[in-house]
Amino acid sequence: MEVWHLNRGSRPGDAPGGVVSLNADIRDGTAAARVLGDERFDAVVDFVAYQGPHVESDIRLFGGRTAQYLFVSSASAYRKPPVHHVLTESTPLSNPYWQYSRDKIACERVLEEAGRTSGFPFTIVRPSHTYGRGWIPTPFTSSDFTVARRILEGREIIVPGDGQALWTLTHARDFAVGLVGLLGNTAAIGEAVQVTGDEALTWDAIHAAIGAALGAAPRIVHVPSDFIAKVDPETGARLLGDKAWTSLFDCSKLKRLVPAFRTTVPFAQGIRESVDWLLAEPARQLVNPAIDAALDRILVAWRGISPS
């Protein structure tokens, strides 16, 4: 495949060899159109469209320029609270807790309307919690070392609820097989497709695996998600709008479209790879002070009503 990457050019060293890099901000439609010139593409994938106007701009930019537009949505768009723990593409979309999810729903609606009215060739991709090298997936943060640092220092961490909600994690290498299998797949035009792994673990088990990879036992404190929302509404919205609920996915549709898709990277392996990469270079071990402070604030509030 010939891969073109439209990006702002802020991290030029990250571009893999053989990838054609086009530098422009996708939010600046005029600049993006200028660098694209007269190029046409078999498929365009947008990972950074978060609101309806972003997709509307993409439709103007790529209409007539691509045979397929893939929008990376989110499985958090599914109805919350869920009425069934197994989710399919036909599960209704509704999220009263989290604006991010409502915005993703709005993006999907824009695409569906464009497909009906102008034949715009869209495919909606709904991943859940995807992680890769350098990521430590937790309910509070995934792209930094904040929770891992607390575990290594013997400080308490928070697991929402009783820690027994089942959560699906998908390694980026497995997600890539599903995504690439949808490119140029005419049966996927006009469809929404879940791309998630088959492995589901409780949040307690996920944190135990993180601790095992770090070589330190996590000191888990269970705090109800609705209590967290009272102390920290922004964090609570992300939990109640997504990670507080058991989420299992029926990916039979994806497997029909992409027979090669399967889970090949179990979490115990993936998290060890991620932790090893982070521990190899101290500069990679970034802590988010705001999240760290929020965890402490929630713990103090919880201790105030729970002497245990």
In a domain, 218, yes or no: yes
Give the range of the structural domain holding residue 225, as residue numbers without chain letter: 40-305
Regions in the chain scoring below 50 on pLDDT? none
Say what the pLDDT of residue 235 is. 95
Task: Measure CA 176 to chain center.
Answer: 13
Rounded to 5°, angle at Cα 271 from 103 and 140: 40
Task: State the helix-helix crossing angle for 99-118 and 52-62, rounded to 10 degrees.
Answer: 30
In a domain, 101, yes or no: yes
Task: Give the number of domains in the chain.
Answer: 1
Say what the pLDDT of residue 289 is. 97
In a domain, 29, yes or no: no
Say what the pLDDT of residue 243 is. 96
In a domain, 1, yes or no: no
Say what the pLDDT of residue 308 is. 52
In a domain, 3, yes or no: no
In a domain, 7, yes or no: no
Encode burial over 134-173: b for 16+ CB neighbours within 10 A, e otherwise. Answer: bbbbbbbbbebbbbbbbbbeeeebbbbbebebebbbbbee
The string of DSSP letters for 240-296 reads IIIITS--EE--HHHHHH-TT----S-HHHHHHHHHHHHHT-GGG----HHHHHHHH
pTM assigned to the model: 0.94
How many Cβ atoms are within 10 Å of 3's Cβ, its own excluded? 9
In a domain, 13, yes or no: no
Task: Measure CA 27 to chain center.
Answer: 20
Burial class, 44, CB count within 10 angstroms (exposed 0-12 / middle 13-18 / buried 19+): buried
Distances (CA, A) of 46 to 69, 97, 230, 258: 8, 25, 34, 20
**CATH number of the domain residue 166 falls in:** 3.40.50.720
Can you read off the two tokens belonging to residue 158? 């928070």
Say what the pLDDT of residue 11 is. 80
Can you read off the two tokens belonging to residue 125? 């991709």
Q: Report how far apart the first and last C-alpha atoms of the chain are (Å, whole number).
A: 57
Residue 243, CA atoms < 13 Å, CB-side half-sphere: 28
Distances (CA, A) of 59 to 35, 49, 192, 210: 17, 11, 17, 41
Is the distance from CB of 289 to CB of 150 less than 8 angstroms? no
How many Cβ atoms are within 10 Å of 25's Cβ, its own excluded? 13
In a domain, 8, yes or no: no
The string of DSSP letters for 93-140 reads B--SS-HHHHHHHHHHHHHHHHHHHH---EEEEEE-EEE-TT----SS
* Residues with Cβ within 8 Å of residue 113, at least 6 apart in sequence: none
Say what the pLDDT of residue 306 is. 62
Pairing of strands 200-202, 166-171: antiparallel
Sign of CA dihedral 233, 110, 85, 254: negative
Say what the pLDDT of residue 140 is. 96
